[in-house]
Amino acid sequence: MNTQLDSKVPAGALEEKWTKHRAESKLVNPNNKRKFDIIVVGSGLAGASAAASLAEMGYGVKCFCFQDSPRRAHSIAAQGGINAAKNYQNDGDSVYRLFYDTIKGGDFRSREANVYRLAEVSANIIDQCVAQGVPFAREYGGLLANRSFGGAQVSRTFYARGQTGQQLLLGAYQALAQQIAVGGVKMFPRTELLDIVIVDGHAKGIVVRDLLSGEISSHAGDTVVLATGGYGNVFYLSTNARGCNVSATYRAYKRGAFFANPCYTQIHPTCIPVGGTYQSKLTLMSESLRNDGRVWVPKNKGDNRPPSQIPDSDRDYYLERKYPSFGNLAPRDIASRSAKEVCDEGRGVGPGGLGVYLDFAEAIGRLGEKTIRERYGNLFDIYHNITGEDAYHLPMRIYPAVHYTMGGLWVDYNLMSNVPGLHVLGEANFSDHGANRLGASALMQGLADGYFVIPSTIANYLATQLGKKVSVDRPEFNATENEVRKTVAKLLSIKGKRTATSFHRELGLLLWEKCGMARSRESLQEALQKIPSLREEFWQNLNLQGGDMELNQSLEQAGRVADFLEFAELMCLDALEREESCGGHFRVEYQTKEGEAVRDDADFCHVAAWQCTGTDSKPVRNVEPLVFENVKLATRSYK
Ligand SMILES: Cc1cc2nc3c(=O)[nH]c(=O)nc-3n(C[C@H](O)[C@H](O)[C@H](O)COP(=O)(O)OP(=O)(O)OC[C@H]3O[C@@H](n4cnc5c(N)ncnc54)[C@H](O)[C@@H]3O)c2cc1C
């Protein structure tokens, strides 16, 4: 296990690093590729694209997911689009500009070299997806269309109406299905990873549970690739699919992989407000809507008139007022905080005053309802189905909600964690978004990792592993399986009174209040005090129905909640120790008079990578300094 953080960023000019690295990377010859077995956990955009590409190259791939089909991965929910520096609009875009926007958007808390590579390969992703038949929106003349997303002043977002993730996932799934058909990939749906097996310090396998039969078994491989998505559901209410969880990455952390920046979570400004305590999920209204929708609240506190009766002079288009250059397309962290601010001032709209308007009246007047329908029809339908309101004639009501997690397992430039052989892709790693992800850049990163980065970099590890194959007969597999069985049995034996959902809801509310959009030393210390007691109660008072050798979704959920209950503490600890505000991490003690985030570059211009030292002892905070050679560290301004 490496406890030194070596990012392995290649030397040389920024623009040449990736080309040079690929040229200098190790190769595995075609005959030897057949000898290697790669375990890919996850079949969302990152996992499906990686599994298909690696199998296409000749490696033997086993791919696992907990859904009944790879097509149901959470990636399918992505709505708004995917960025790429194609400059089709001729509006001044370039690889450098996408790189710069992403570094600045992340509040200067990501690695220059990784982000530049991401911007570089973004154009290839679009070509790859078009070749697969992904139906991106097109202009009248047939060229691919673009729209704008937050944090950018160019239009570089490719989209397929409001269902870009679905179309991209169908593309990746076709590539995966083709490889399943020819035997390159063996697919294991309805199978959940419950632990990683470490042999002689290397990740050499996994322990899984068949979710239909309950059978627990092991799989050995020459390397393990985790593409298991993000952990936003630690907050219980989020825009993530209900199944999203931290278990795979957290269990890898407990086996030695460092967890980087766990406190970096993204709160998305445009979600349908919470409707009641019964709710189990929140719904995103894509950021793309801010291309045409204008965000406002009444100027005066207590103005309860219906929106149509509030004249322009009594409205506060607060994003346009505060950030004239970016206006409604201010980045997510900034737009979310501004919404919270106006609601805290008592100017929020809708039930409980926790909402702001997103108004299309002006755009409909300018472009016509038909155009707005064509651009965002399915989003307006979702809004109507949930709220019963017609947003073509009434402004939408929106409020910030947990949406994405920038933190994740620490990886080097090859996307390998500090545990040799354990690679991590997509939202599961910490890599490219710093403290705040810009809109339409998660799909870009997941597909960059899967289609373009890991196929080149994985050989740097595998080439060192020829002749070192391990099998499930090694005692490490048996030992890990036994630990997994013990945990399952323990969960089922408690026979208490509370459901896993009730613990999860309580944890989520606590985190939202104490470690959500605003955090303070006091609130974090309070959360750190309360989480262990909640965890203790969980292990004494959990009520689980059913048994282990059957389909048992309560058992699946309980395992995930158990991990959230430990992980939440790590999040709060990370948030407490990062004594600055940056991106989505807003510590109330560190802000300007106008409420903008105040970074501390002297003390915190680094990645915090947490090392597990056992369940009952404090983890160690390791640090990877971030070096900026190509951009100047500056105060982020969107004014
Ligand atoms: C509503 C919504 C809209 C979004 N819209 C956009 C957008 O327009 N543009 C954009 O760039 N980003 C968007 N995002 C973000 C983006 O969708 C995600 O970041 C991205 O899809 C994550 O892809 P992934 O492959 O890393 O993980 P996922 O798609 O979450 O896939 C995770 C995979 O891991 C598997 N898995 C997880 N744990 C286990 C386990 N223990 N055992 C076995 N398998 C496991 C799952 O089965 C699944 O196959 C949106 C997010 C949300 C919530």
Which of 43, 65, 436 has most ligand 1 atoms within 8 Å of its beta carbon, as the pocket-test mutant?
65
Q: How far is the CA of 228 from the centre of ligand 1 (A)?
A: 7
CA-closest residue to ligand 1 atom 39: 228
* Cβ neighbourhood burial of 83 (10 Å; 0-12, 13-18, 19+): buried
Which of 166, 228, 415, 437 has most ligand 1 atoms within 8 Å of its beta carbon, as the pocket-test mutant?
228
DSSP 503-546: HHHHHHHHHHHHHSSSB-HHHHHHHHHHHHHHHHHHHHHB---S
- Nearest C-alpha neighbor of 480 from the set 226, 223, 203, 224: 203
List, by residue range, all CATH 3.90.700.10 domains of the chain. 268-403
Which pair of tokens denotes residue 193?
Answer: 């990873």
Which pair of tokens denotes residue 275?
Answer: 């409707």
C-alpha 389, offset from chain centre: 30
Tell me phi and psi for residue 96, to 5 degrees.
Answer: -65, -40
Cβ within 8 Å of residue 16, ≥6 positions away:
none
Distances (CA, A) of 599 to 325, 342, 410, 610, 633: 22, 23, 22, 21, 10
Identify the pLDDT of residue 431: 84
Identify the pLDDT of residue 532: 97
What whole-number distance in Å separates Cα of residue 274 and Cα of residue 355?
A: 9
Residue that the structure tokens 């056992």 belong to: 614
For residue 284, give the ligand 1 atom closest to its CA.
1
Residues 539, 541, 546: CA angle, nearest 5 degrees: 90
CA-closest residue to ligand 1 atom 53: 240
Residue that the structure tokens 């690093």 belong to: 17
Residues 99, 102, 106: CA angle, nearest 5 degrees: 140
Helices (H), 352-407: 361-367, 369-387
Beta-carbon-side half-sphere exposure of residue 419 (alpha carbons within 13 Å) = 30
Q: How far is the CA of 75 from the centre of ligand 1 (A)?
A: 4
CA-closest residue to ligand 1 atom 8: 80
Helix (H, G, I), strand (E, B) or coil at 226: strand
Beta-carbon-side half-sphere exposure of residue 90 (alpha carbons within 13 Å) = 1
Which pair of tokens denotes residue 125?
Answer: 């992703």
For residue 426, give the ligand 1 atom closest to its CA.
26
List, by residue range, all CATH 3.50.50.60 domains of the chain. 24-199+225-266+404-462
- Nearest C-alpha neighbor of 408 from the set 445, 457, 438: 445
- Is domain 268-403 given the CATH code 3.90.700.10 in the classification? yes
pLDDT (tens digit, 9 = 90+) per residue, 422-461? 999 999 999 899 999 999 999 999 999 999 999 999 999 9
Helix (H, G, I), strand (E, B) or coil at 129: helix
Q: How far is the CA of 517 from the centre of ligand 1 (A)?
A: 22
Identify the pLDDT of residue 1: 57
User: Within a 10 A sphere around the Cβ of 146, how many other Cβ atoms?
Assistant: 24
Question: With contact defined as beta carbons under 8 Å apart, do 261 and 407 qualify?
Answer: yes
R_g (Cα) of the chain, nearest Å? 24
Distances (CA, A) of 555 to 90, 487, 488, 494: 53, 11, 8, 12
What whole-number distance in Å separates Cα of residue 605 and Cα of residue 501?
A: 38
**Beta-strand relationship, 294-298 and 356-359:** antiparallel
pLDDT (tens digit, 9 = 90+) per residue, 85-110? 999 999 999 999 999 999 999 999 99
CA-closest residue to ligand 1 atom 35: 42
Fold of the CATH domain 24-199+225-266+404-462: FAD/NAD(P)-binding domain (3.50.50)
What sign for the dihedral angle of Cα 104, 270, 357, 590? negative
Pocket of ligand 1 (CB under 6 A): 41-47, 64-67, 73-75, 77-82, 164-165, 192-193, 227-230, 239-240, 244-245, 247-248, 284, 286, 403-404, 426-428, 440-443, 446
CA-closest residue to ligand 1 atom 3: 78
- Nearest C-alpha neighbor of 288 from the set 455, 159, 114, 473: 159
Identify the pLDDT of residue 154: 92
DSSP 22-74: HHHS----HHHHTT-EEEEE--SHHHHHHHHHHHHTT-EEEEE-SSSSGGGSG
Identify the pLDDT of residue 616: 81
C-alpha 76, offset from chain centre: 13
Which of 427, 487, 557, 567 has most ligand 1 atoms within 8 Å of its beta carbon, as the pocket-test mutant?
427
Helices (H), 521-639: 521-541, 553-577, 601-604
Counting DSSP H helices and E strands in the chain, the numbers are: 18, 19
Helix (H, G, I), strand (E, B) or coil at 142: coil
Q: How far is the CA of 266 from the centre of ligand 1 (A)?
A: 14
Question: With contact defined as beta carbons under 8 Å apart, do 397 and 357 qualify?
Answer: yes
Q: What is the total residue count of the chain?
A: 639
Residue that the structure tokens 């790590």 belong to: 570
Q: How far is the CA of 102 from the centre of ligand 1 (A)?
A: 20
Identify the pLDDT of residue 287: 82
Catalytic residue, from 109, 147, 161, 332: name it.
332
Which pair of tokens denotes residue 39?
Answer: 């375990």
Regions of the chain short of the pLDDT cut 70? 1-3
Identify the pLDDT of residue 2: 60
pTM for the complete prediction? 0.96
Q: H/E element holding 447?
A: helix 442-447
Identify the pLDDT of residue 149: 85
To the query of whether residue 373 is one of the catalytic residues in this protein, the response is no
**Beta-strand relationship, 185-188 and 60-64:** parallel
For residue 239, give the ligand 1 atom closest to its CA.
53
Laid out side by side, the sheet with 202-210 consists of 191-199, 202-210, 216-220
- 3-state SS of 148-175? CCCCCCCCCEECCCCCHHHHHHHHHHHH
CA-closest residue to ligand 1 atom 50: 78
Q: H/E element holding 310?
A: none
For residue 425, give the ligand 1 atom closest to its CA.
26
- Nearest C-alpha neighbor of 389 from the set 477, 486, 507, 306: 306
Residue type, 313: S
CA-closest residue to ligand 1 atom 31: 44
Q: How far is the CA of 229 from the centre of ligand 1 (A)?
A: 5
CA-closest residue to ligand 1 atom 14: 78
- Nearest C-alpha neighbor of 203 from the set 59, 472, 419, 481: 419
